[in-house]
Amino acid sequence: MGEEAKGDFEPKIVGFTCNWCTYAAADLAGTSRKKYPPNSRIIRLMCSGRLDPMFVLKVLLNGADGVFFSGCHPGECHYIKGNFYARRRIAALRTILKEFGLDERFKSYWISASEGEKFANTMKTQAEEVKKLGPSPLRGKIL
């Protein structure tokens, strides 16, 4: 994979979303015909608490330009406390990623099922941010 010029590269973004909120918000964004860039590939989890930080590491090491995780707002978890646990794990993981400058490629959001517009806007902002960062430094590496 060659270096692409920063301006005209289309980033690949992988998202892990909770079935009960952000995944439904993505649906809502679709049914309400909100436009957002097609860079993100979404993986549905039953809860943000299902997110094993290893998923994020694997995705980053395999060369994704951006990763995000999104769950229900704290206190609104379908399973009562899944996102509280997720928050601790993500905070730990981001602390580690920060050591190697990878934290800016890993975003976390809280987006509820009714926030279709917020989802579309978030996707747009993230795609722009990752575009500005350029291709992942891990893409071309022999790992």
Residues that bind another protein (CB under 8 A): 1, 53-54, 57-58, 61-63, 74-75, 81, 84-85, 87-96, 99-102, 107-108, 137-138, 141-143
Distance CA 126, CA 108 (A): 11
User: Alpha-carbon distance 143 to 141, whole Å?
Assistant: 6
Taking the least distance from each CB to another protein, the nearer of 44 and 100 is 100
Q: Do the beta carbons of residue 71 and residue 18 sit within 8 Å? A: yes
Taking alpha carbons only, the member of 92, 101, 96 closest to residue 133 is 101
Nearer to another protein, 30 or 74 (CB): 74
- Whichever of 134 and 137 has its CB closer to another protein, that residue is 137
Beta carbon nearer to another protein, 30 or 98: 98
The least CB distance from residue 31 to another protein, in Å, is: 28
- Least Cβ distance, residue 66 to another protein (angstroms): 14
Tokens of 79: 């399973």
Kindly state the smallest distance separating residue 26's Cβ from another protein, in Å. Answer: 20
- Give, to the nearest 10 degrees, the angle between helix 116-133 and helix 22-31: 100
Dist CA 135 CA 142 (whole Å) = 15
- Could you tell me the smallest distance in angstroms from the CB atom of residue 20 to another protein? 18
Least distance (Å) between residue 37 CB and another protein:
20
Per-residue CA distances from 61 to 67, 116, 120 (Å):
11, 30, 26
Minimum CB distance to another protein smaller for 27 or for 100:
100
